[in-house]
């Protein structure tokens, strides 16, 4: 009599399913974390694009835009951009992703009135920096004090920001 030995035995199937289950418990959370990081990166990228459009708008009109329509910009699929505040001295915006819910968002704040560089400084140095001799010991043959640095080139008025970092919470 001939026996039919085709197929897998029950222990082989159980071992295979348990190995697949272990792999799934490791892989699925890692995949979700990578997916979430990608969505946060997309929100941050959209805010960087918005910042570029705001800079162009500012260079043309000397104020920042309060609406996305004026900037002629769009966001990535699933990302919602909102300009929270915009004045002649700065702006802030928020990005959120539909797949992440309302708890995850990225924020950018740009500009500050106190960081405007002064033009009226005699054309020699940026405002807030004093002149003086170099610190420390001289180098070479018998020199006492270090020499004063050469004067800085004239500074023009420009918008300087100290708070343009994108902050994301997930």
**Mean pLDDT per 10-residue section of the chain, whose length is 170 residues:** 76 93 92 89 90 90 88 88 86 89 84 45 41 43 54 44 68
7 domain residue, yes or no: no
Q: Please check whether residue 109 lies inside any domain of the structure.
A: yes
Residue 139 belongs to a domain: no
| pLDDT given at position 148 | 58
| Residue 134 resides in a domain | no
Residue 117's contacts (CB-CB under 8 Å, 6 or more residues apart) are 126, 127, 155, 156, 157, 158, 160
Answer whether 71's CB lies under 8 Å from 59's CB. no
Residue 134 in contact with residue 146, Cβ under 8 Å? yes
> For the purposes of burial, counting CB atoms within 10 Å of the CB of 161, is it exposed (0-12), middle (13-18) or buried (19 or more)?
middle
pLDDT given for residue 19 in this prediction: 94
In angstroms, rounded to a whole number, what is the distance separating the alpha carbons of residues 110 and 167? 12
Domain that holds residue 42: 12-128+152-169
* 137: in domain: no
Residue 16 lies in a domain: yes
Q: Is residue 6 part of a domain?
A: no
- Residue 86: predicted pLDDT: 85
To the question of pTM greater than 0.85 for the whole model, the response is: no
The answer to whether residue 105 is domain-embedded is: yes
Cβ(54)–Cβ(73) below 8 Å: no
pLDDT of 3 reads 67
Q: Which residue has the tokens 């500050």?
A: 112
> How many domains, in total, are found in the chain?
1
């Amino acid at each position: 009599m001939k026996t039919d030995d085709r197929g897998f035995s029950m222990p082989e199937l159980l071992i295979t399913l348990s190995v697949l289950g272990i792999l799934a418990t490791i892989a699925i959370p890692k995949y979700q974390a990578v997916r979430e990081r990608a969505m946060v990166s997309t929100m941050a990228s959209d805010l960087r694009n918005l910042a570029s459009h705001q800079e162009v708008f500012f260079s043309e009109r000397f104020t920042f835009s309060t609406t996305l329509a004026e900037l002629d910009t769009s966001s990535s699929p699933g990302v919602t951009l909102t300009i929270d505040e915009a004045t002649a001295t700065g702006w802030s915006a928020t990005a959120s992703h539909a797949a992440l819910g309302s708890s995850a968002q990225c924020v950018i704040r740009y500009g500050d009135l106190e960081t405007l560089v002064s033009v009226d400084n005699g054309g020699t140095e940026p405002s807030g920096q004093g002149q003086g001799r170099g610190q420390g010991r001289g180098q070479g043959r018998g020199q006492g004090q270090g020499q004063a640095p050469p004067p800085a080139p004239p500074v023009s008025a420009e918008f300087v920001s100290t708070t343009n970092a994108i902050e994301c919470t997930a």
